[in-house]
Amino acid sequence: MKGLKSLARNIFCFSIQGTVFFLFSVFVLAAGILRVDLAALLWASGFFLVTGYTWLGNNLLRIIIKRYLARQPDCINIKLPDHGIYPGEDAQAYLTLKLPSFMLPGFLTRFSLKMVWQDYASCNIETMLSAGETSRIITFAASLRGEYNTGACYILIKDYLGLTKSVINLPLKVQLNVYPVLISSSHTPLKLEVSGADIEYSPRKKTSEELLEIRKYYPGDDVRKINWKAYARLSELFLRIGEETTLPEAKLLFIIDPTHSPFVPDAVRNAYLDILVEHAGSLLLSLLNRGVDIWLLVPGYKKAEALSAEKRELLLNRLSRIRWQKTYHTIPLPPYKNLYAFVFSSPGSLGLEPLVRQLKKTGLKLSLFFPSWQQAQPAVPELTLKHLLFLSDRSKHRQLSVNFDQDWFFKLYRTEAGKFRGAPWRINHVYQV
């Protein structure tokens, strides 16, 4: 049924302007016949000649291009940035496309590729095509974080007057990652409690064995303290003494909980998730840059992944794919007992309570982070006659006004914070970021 509708739409390829022009031609022709007006009949003939040429030419050109592309399956090639881009960043796509060397006069062809992320954000790549081979660099940008995908591209055929328009669909699978904007800070004032002692995380520094005192080994000494380097040089057993002792270093586990929250308004839901991801990623990146190895758990992956400063691209790739989840699923924790978990979630999340229960059952210490929402005042543009009549897409000149009660949100945040600080949770650190 969908294919028949598409075929009918392409055969009757008049645009809105073309339909109006065709009906006006019929009206002039009828008036000329009824009034036996030669001038009206001549005008109607000219109108029908233009209408017939644009309609016939559009259909003929669509059939020619479609058959040409069917004979050459590799006639289109588009290359997007391999390592992803950031929101608002000007990126470049490299397009190569071959069309027939002959085109009917009075017609335009246009390439269009629309990539979509989670049914709420899109990224468009468009350019005009010429007869023969088109090789072009197209500049584009994406406004929101996400993993953009598409399974098809389009070739739009239209005439100069805009009376007709038809589309050729071409299968094309491409993907583009738009990374969140992360701000790394050299100062992360997070002091956590591990084994009864407050420590501030920093990379562990290995003590040089040359600075340690040694003595001869005697039977009964701890063999784990034998200095094997000294034995290799002197062929005699020596024992290391005076070795510095350090506080046990806990491994950090970052968990991002994007489970649906009924308290986050639909109008700001996607923007709120972006804020949550950016705050979690910025703190994580700050610790990675200080040499701290971290485990990351994100939805959609079967196990936690170990991150380091060298795996920045992997971190950005994982964060770009996080989307809202309708239900909570039990997460697989890393096989370590000495873990400290950072949980980033939204107030009222349906998955937060079962997640905290799972963490507490394993004896893990954890901190909760709730991102706040700062709503900017919407800009109200001046509606002039130009905006009302001649700008077809007025959404570009208007920002969406969201009815969002910040006082209500802060009250909800304080309620959630108090809930998880008390029994039976006993979570000492609940942050607002």
Which pLDDT belongs to residue 264? 82
Q: In whole angstroms, give the CA distance from residue 164 to residue 306.
A: 56
Q: Please give the tally of structural domains in the chain.
A: 3
pLDDT above 90 covers a percentage of the chain that reads 21
Structure tokens at 154: 């389009």
pLDDT over threshold 80, residue 201: no
Q: Mark whether 162 and 214 lie in a shared domain.
A: no
d(CA 412, CA 262): 12
pLDDT for 397: 36
Mark whether 234 and 380 lie in a shared domain.
no
Q: Are 288 and 344 contained in the same domain?
A: yes
**1 belongs to a structural domain:** no
Per-residue pLDDT tens digits for 331-340: 888 877 778 8
- Give pLDDT, residue 192: 52
CB 403 within 8 A of CB 267: yes
- Runs of H (alpha helix) within 72-207: none
247-266 burial code (b ≥16 CB/10 A, e <16): eeebbbbbbbbbbbbeebee
Residue 185 lies in a domain: no
Average pLDDT along the chain: 78
Given pLDDT bands bounded at 50, 70 and 90, which one contains residue 361? confident
Asked if residue 330 belongs to a domain, the reply is: yes
Q: What is the mean pLDDT of residues 144-163?
A: 91
pLDDT over 60 at 283, yes or no: yes
pLDDT at 139 over 50: yes
Is the residue at 237 inside a domain? yes
Q: How many CB atoms lie within 10 A of CB 416?
A: 21
Asked if the model's pLDDT at residue 146 lies above 70, the reply is yes
The pLDDT of residue 347:
84
Tokens 């006004």 belong to: 401
Q: What is the pLDDT of residue 418?
A: 77
Q: Is residue 337 part of a domain?
A: yes
Domain match, 287 and 140 both: no
Q: Classify residue 349 as exposed, middle or buried by CB count within 10 Å of its CB (0-12, 13-18, 19+).
A: buried
pLDDT digits (tens, 9 = 90+) for 214-236: 777 766 676 777 887 877 777 78
pLDDT score, position 248: 45
Q: Judge whether 91 and 81 are in contact, CB under 8 Å.
A: yes
Same domain for 303 and 333, yes or no, is yes
Q: Both 266 and 164 in a single domain? A: no
Same domain, 252 and 357: yes
The predicted pLDDT at position 57 comes to 92
Mean pLDDT of 280-297: 86
pTM of the prediction? Answer: 0.72
- Residue 279 sits in the same domain as residue 220: no
Please report which residue ranges of 331-381 form alpha helices under DSSP H.
352-361
pLDDT at 8 (0 to 100):
58
Domain coverage including residue 133:
8-178
Same-domain status, 230 and 120: no
258-275: pLDDT as tens digits: 998 888 878 788 888 888
Q: Do 289 and 225 fall into the same domain? A: no
Same domain, 230 and 373: no
**Residue 399: predicted pLDDT:** 38
Selection from 101, 95, 97, 168 nearest residue 131 by Cα: 101
Residue 428: per-residue pLDDT: 65
Tell me the pLDDT tens digit for each residue of 116-134. 988 778 899 999 999 888 9
Arithmetic mean of pLDDT, 416-433: 71
Question: Is 49 found in the same domain as 134?
Answer: yes
Residue 74 has pLDDT above 70, yes or no: yes
Cα distance between residue 323 and residue 203, in whole Å: 32
Decide if pLDDT at 381 tops 80. Answer: no
